[in-house]
Amino acid sequence: MAEDAESRWLMQAGNDTAKDDALQVQGLTLRYNDVLALDGATARFPTGSMTAIIGPNGAGKSTFLKSVLGLVEAEGTVKAFGGPVATAMPRIAYVPQRAAVDWSFPVRVIDVVLMGCYRKTGLLGRIDRRMAAHAMAALARVGMQDFARRQIGALSGGQQQRVFLARALAQGADLFLLDEPFAGVDAATESAIITVLKSLRDSGATIIAVHHDLTTVAAYFDRVLLMNRRTLAEGPVAETFTRAALAQAYGPALMLDPTGSSAA
Partner 1 sequence: MIWQALLLQGGYNSVLVSLGAALLGAAAGAAGAFLTLRRRSLMSDAMAHATLPGIGLAFLAMVALGGDGRFLPGLMLGAALTAAAGLWAVQRLARQMHEDAATGAVLASFYGAGIVLLTLIQGLGTGRPAGLETVLLGSTAGMLRADALVIGFGGLAVSCALWALRRPLAMVAFDPLHARMMGVNPRRMDAALMALVLAVVLVGLNVTGLILIVALLVTPAVTARLWSTTVTGTATLSALIGAACGYVGAAISASVPDLPTGPVIVLLAAGVFALTLLLRGHRDG
The footprint of partner 1 (CB under 8 A) covers: 66, 69, 71, 89-90, 92-94, 96, 100-102, 104-108, 111-112, 115-116, 118-119, 121, 123-124, 151, 153-154, 167, 171
Smallest distance from the beta carbon of 100 to partner 1, in angstroms?
8
- Distance (Å, rounded) from C-alpha 27 to C-alpha 132? 41
CB of 216 to partner 1, least distance (A): 26
Q: Hey, is 69 helix, strand or coil?
A: coil
Q: Measured from the CB atom, is 107 or 238 closer to partner 1?
A: 107
Residue with smaller CB distance to partner 1, 57 or 104: 104
Distance CA 190, CA 186 (A): 6
Instruction: From 147, 138, 150, 111, select the one nearest 127 (Cα to Cα).
Output: 111
Report phi then psi at 49, rounded to 5.
Answer: -100, 165
- Which is nearer to partner 1, 100 or 187 (by Cβ)? 100
Return the closest-CA partner of residue 27 out of 234, 248, 233, 231.
231
Minimum CB–partner distance for residue 251 and partner 1 (Å): 32
Closer residue to partner 1 (CB): 101 or 140: 101
Enumerate the H helices of 150-232 as residue ranges. Answer: 157-170, 187-202, 217-220
Residue 24 DSSP one-character state: E
Please state the closest distance from residue 106 (CB atom) to partner 1, in A.
5
Closest CA to 230 of 76, 50, 100, 115: 76
Between 108 and 212, name the residue whose CB sits nearer to partner 1.
Answer: 108
- Shortest CB 165 distance to partner 1, Å: 13
